Amino acid sequence: MKQPQETVLLTYTEIDSPIGPLVLVASPQGLCKVEFGTYEKNREQREQWASRWYGAFELIENAEQLAPVAEQLMQYFKRERDSFEGDLDLQGTDFQKRVWLALQTIPYGETASYKHIAEAIGSPKAVRAVGGANNQNPIPVIIPCHRIIGANGDLVGYGGGLPTKVHLLDLEQRSLLT
């Protein structure tokens, strides 16, 4: 007989930021999702994502629990912080997780190419797959997929849109921290 699946409690909050509304979602293990847009706008995609990775889940608003993440993001947007602290609960394939971990090694204010990341994870021919994993990054800004550019130096797509990518790269380039 199959055991009933335990329901995972996910908490969320929506914050206003210089790049528009962001929804932060955390599992008991840590931050698991940052979404561009409002809670309502992304509801269907969020529920499909949570169901895929957590099975049975309940989503409850809890701004207090996510306040440290929200505060770090606001510090980042004010150029008062160049890295993030706290537990992450990465939900993806093993390959995607390797890519997301490699993205976190790109220093603040710098950029890298898909090819650079493919080489860094020991899969130099997986450039397109790295692009796909980058596109599926569940924790943008904190896992800095915005720092990925084309091999020729061109800006390439971004889940939050190219204007958001330009804003984040410009913010880091003109930071008072550097």
Structure pTM?
0.91
φ and ψ at residue 100, rounded to 5 degrees: -65, -35
Domains by residue range for the chain, with CATH: 8-77 (3.30.160.70), 94-173 (1.10.10.10)
pLDDT band at residue 157 under the 50/70/90 scheme:
confident
Q: Which residues contact 173 (CB under 8 A, 6 or more apart)?
A: 109
Bridge partners of 140, per DSSP, are: 143
pLDDT digits (tens, 9 = 90+) for 23-42: 999 999 999 999 999 999 99
Q: Report the C-alpha gap between 144 and 159 in whole angstroms.
A: 12
pLDDT number for residue 39: 96
Whole-number mean pLDDT of the chain?
Answer: 92
The one catalytic residue among 23, 120, 145, 148: 145
Q: Is 32 a catalytic residue?
A: no
Q: Report the C-alpha gap between 75 and 82 in whole angstroms.
A: 9
